Amino acid sequence: MGKRKENSTNSLNESYIVESCDLTYAICKIGGRWKLLILCRLENGKLRFSELRNQITGITERMLTLQLRELEKEGLITRTVHAEVPPRVDYELTDIALELVPIWKQLSQWGAKHKNRVPKQ
Amino acid sequence: MGKRKENSTNSLNESYIVESCDLTYAICKIGGRWKLLILCRLENGKLRFSELRNQITGITERMLTLQLRELEKEGLITRTVHAEVPPRVDYELTDIALELVPIWKQLSQWGAKHKNRVPKQ
DNA sequence: CCCATTACTTACAAATTTGTTTGTACCGCA
DNA sequence: TGCGGTACAAACAAATTTGTAAGTAATGGG
């Protein structure tokens, strides 16, 4: 995501909020437009870059790369490079990410329910 | 948050993604930096604007207003204005928002756990 | 009349996120 | 030699989100 300004109000705010609230911490890790979508896809096992790209509608290669990098840094996925040509790389959920599965399932159910209840707009 | 460009790639993407995935739909509703923090505070009953502002470190009045408006539009909170001077307004979770409570509790627990497991950064 | 209080609104500016386009390395194949 | 496939990276541009600073209305109290 490019670097952030170290001392922007945003950054200061964020670090402050994060350290004082586990929930916000979690949201920071898995929030944003793509992260959960990516994790979701990996729910049933490894996938390679191109598979993710094809399965996630609307994502660009750049975004996929960026998000994968972040997820890796946060310890939510592992990245395995196979020394072949053409290159092959695959991604897999870590244990800690697997613990999120029930959560995103519930959230998904809630989403479905909410979608029906507030269809106007 | 100000209007969005109707036909930006972002918007198109978002609506597409949202309609095809309940999870992303949910994330759209409660994602972002402040929404869950606000909902959290309301977990134990109504609060007025100033109470929210004081309890949520780092939020500005503008952000609080904007987020509250969105949450209201999405049917997650109700807004009650008391015809007094100085004004008094309070906010309360709706039923559908209450259904999120267990989810954010789990997420919070996960956050706490993750925080300890990946302290390096 | 002046001030304080509350819950905002508005205009503007800065920061952050996302997208577009082009390019890279490697090898095998025609 | 040129092309194709894979998994990216870099430069740049646009969109979106967040923050700052300054109002506003209504009214009771001094």
Query: Which residues in chain A land under pLDDT 50?
Result: 119-121
pLDDT in tens, B32-47: 889 999 999 999 999 9
Query: Quick one: average pLDDT of B49-53?
Result: 96
Chain-centre distance for alpha carbon A74: 10
* Structure tokens given for A41: 């896809």
* Structure tokens given for A67: 């998000």
Provide the pLDDT for residue A2: 59
The Cα B39–Cα B55 span in angstroms is 12
CA distance A112 to chain B (A): 5
pLDDT band, residue B57 (cuts 50/70/90): confident
Q: Find, in chain A, the residue whose alpha carbon is nearest to that of B10.
A: A58
- Work out the angle at residue A23's Cα, subtended by the Cα atoms of residues A53 and A74, and round it to the nearest 5 degrees: 45
Q: For residues A104 and A40, is the Cβ–Cβ distance under 8 A?
A: yes
> Least CB-CB distance to B25: which of A27, A104, A111?
A111
Interatomic distance B60 CA / D19 C1' (Å): 8
Q: Within 10 A of B55 (CB to CB), how many other CB atoms are there?
A: 13
Question: Which domains, from first to last, does chain A contain?
Answer: 1-30 (no CATH), 32-117 (1.10.10.10)
3-state secondary structure A50-116: HHHHHHCCCCCHHHHHHHHHHHHHCCCEEEEEECCCCCEEEEEECHHHHCCHHHHHHHHHHHHHHHH
> Least CB-CB distance to A103: which of B40, B99, B106?
B106
Per the DSSP assignment, residues forming a β-bridge with B92 are B78
pLDDT in tens, A11-45: 888 887 777 788 888 888 898 889 999 999 999 99
Provide the pLDDT for residue B121: 42
Extract the runs of DSSP E, i.e. beta strands, from B40-76. Answer: 47-48
pLDDT band, residue B49 (cuts 50/70/90): very high
Q: Find, in chain B, the residue whose alpha carbon is nearest to that of A74.
A: B118
Interface list for B 71-90 with A (CB within 8 A) = 73-75
